[in-house]
Structure 1
Amino acid sequence: MKSVILGGGIAGVTAAWYLAKEGREVTVIDRRPGVALETSFANAGLVAPGHSYTWASPRAPKILLKSLFVDGQALRLKLNADPHMWIWCLRFLRNCTAERSRRNTTRKVALCRYAQTQLQQLTAAEHLQYDRLSRGLLYLYRDEASLARG
């Protein structure tokens, strides 16, 4: 059986590897000349539960509003007439409550822990060698409130 994977990032390459292991003929198509040159590259290869915070949080609406007037915001909103964007915005804002933010972050942490476990098992089973660092990450907080949130 033949399979085509669109995107040569970490998810696409991983899916291709597992499909090939099952005996499928796999073709990976990416607009870049190599693998992991877009989102996977910009993510710095981090698989860290500490990066699992959901972007849709109670603070997000203010950040998005500020992004209309101030450059350099982590979240940016560019207004346009696309109705699909407005529907997406409404869905995003609906998830900006404390309870939904907590629930979605908890789900993302579980997914990240699963991904870490799978990566460790695959690395060990296939004796993969790459520029891996696993000494942890250092987070710096400016005040007690930020530390408590972290």
Structure 2
Amino acid sequence: MFYGPAGTTHVELVIAVNSRTITTIGGNTSGSLNGAYYNGDGVYRKTVTRASSRIYGYGRPAYTGGAYVPPSPSLDWQEAMLQQLPTLKRGASGEHVETVQGLLAARSHPVTLDGDFGSATEAAVKAVQRWGGVTADGEVGPQTWPVLLRVK
């Protein structure tokens, strides 16, 4: 993510995005979002609102030959990524639930992006599971994440 006029003030790596915020990791920063956010003493994780006027834009390096993905002895990179995702069910809360809700909303399922896995989220998950041909149990786990992320 690039900050400042013409994106020339500061750069940070985006590590998470939800409906309201962007989480980044940046070096040469003070970690402060109120005041100076660069020319600091370390590397910090920060969360900024998506509507922040400090954000100039986004980009990624133009790697020659594509981006490097480290090899896994027995899994392709998508399977390795999916194994790191939690299993979520009714009663769960937090940023992973909000990510699921965002994916459901993007597929026209009526859910509130509140980070709470309630009955509406469960019903929408079951609908996506039926569409994706996996067991419609209302839980987001190893069989459902690929359907939501459309990686298989």
Q: TM-score, normalising length from structure 1?
A: 0.27
Scaled by the length of structure 2, the TM-score of the pair is 0.27
- Larger relative strand fraction: 2
Structure with higher helix content: 1
